[in-house]
Amino acid sequence: MGGGAVFILGGGAGGGGGPPTLVLCSGLGGAGGYWSPHLGALKAMGFDLLIYDQRGTGANTEALGPTTIADMADDVLAVCDAAGVDRFDLLGHALGGLVGFDLACRPDSRLDRLVAINAWARIDHHTARCFDIRIAALDGQGLPAFAALQQNFLYPPFWISANPDRIAADEAHAVEHFAGRRNLIARIDALRGFALPDWPQDGPRVLLLAATDDALVDVAQSHRLAALIPGAQLIEYPQGGHALNITVQDRFEHDLKGFLTDDR
């Protein structure tokens, strides 16, 4: 998957009676730094954390050709193998949730529990249109406009209004660390091409988290997933937007702990 950064936080690798490993799988942006606000809480839950920059993002700056969600799932397994991790849980945001779905549906899956935030079984017209608008902004108005628009898809109005300094900082970070149009399009095309496989009878436990006010992914997508994944638990947040893990962090971490540590 290239020479990207991989970070392991905790006392040891998952399996063999040690702490469980939680793989943190980011969304379209792909960089492991997305999860920085949660590292303390997740370590306090007793997990070893495996954090990495996805192909074509962050420190993993290889130029991408055609790419699929299955390719990204292969990368997760390669990272786990390199870290000596056999079984693992996965926390995925949007694209990261799709990667988790692919891993869950493979024969001899190594995935025990999966949390997917604002994910989908197949892209709908609304989300596809949002991607088209973002690409048009990049091509027509340039990278600063693209980065500014990105904040309005990530965060709901109440968060943007209350956090102008954070929004400005996120915009500047997005411009500075932009991985290039080619990589962006390749990753969006991977999202467009994904369709949820048939769910296995012995699949992992699944928690779906969705926000009613997500401007990028219709909350109905998580309801569709709940109908397609036997036994999946769905928690719907009345507000939080696409990046609900950041905007309603305390509730998110509470719900996450309840799911990941139950019966362990």
- The model carries a pTM of 0.94
121 is a domain residue: yes
* Helix then strand then coil, % of the chain, to nearest 5: 45, 15, 35
1 is a domain residue: no
**What does 196-264 look like in DSSP terms, one character per residue?**
PPPPPTTPPEEEEEEETT-SSS-THHHHHHHHHSTT-EEEEESS--TTHHHHTHHHHHHHHHHHHHTT-
Residues 57-80: tens digit of each pLDDT: 987 777 787 899 999 999 999 999
Nearest to 161 by CA among 176, 151, 171, 150: 151
168 is a domain residue: yes
Residues 145-204: tens digit of each pLDDT: 999 999 999 999 999 999 999 999 999 999 999 999 999 999 999 999 999 999 999 999
- CB 51, CB 26: distance < 8 Å: no
120 is a domain residue: yes
pLDDT of residue 260: 97
CATH number (domain holding residue 104): 3.40.50.1820
Question: How would you classify residue 246: left for phi > 0, otherwise alpha for psi between -120 and 50, otherwise beta?
Answer: alpha
pLDDT of residue 3: 40
Q: Please compute the mean of the pLDDT values over residues 132-157 and round it to a whole number.
A: 97
Number of structural domains, the chain?
A: 1
pLDDT of residue 197: 96
Length of the chain counted residue by residue: 264
229 is a domain residue: yes
- CB 242, CB 216: distance < 8 Å: yes
241 is a domain residue: yes
The residue segments making up the domain with residue 90 are 6-261
Chain centroid offset of residue 229 CA = 18
pLDDT of residue 66: 84
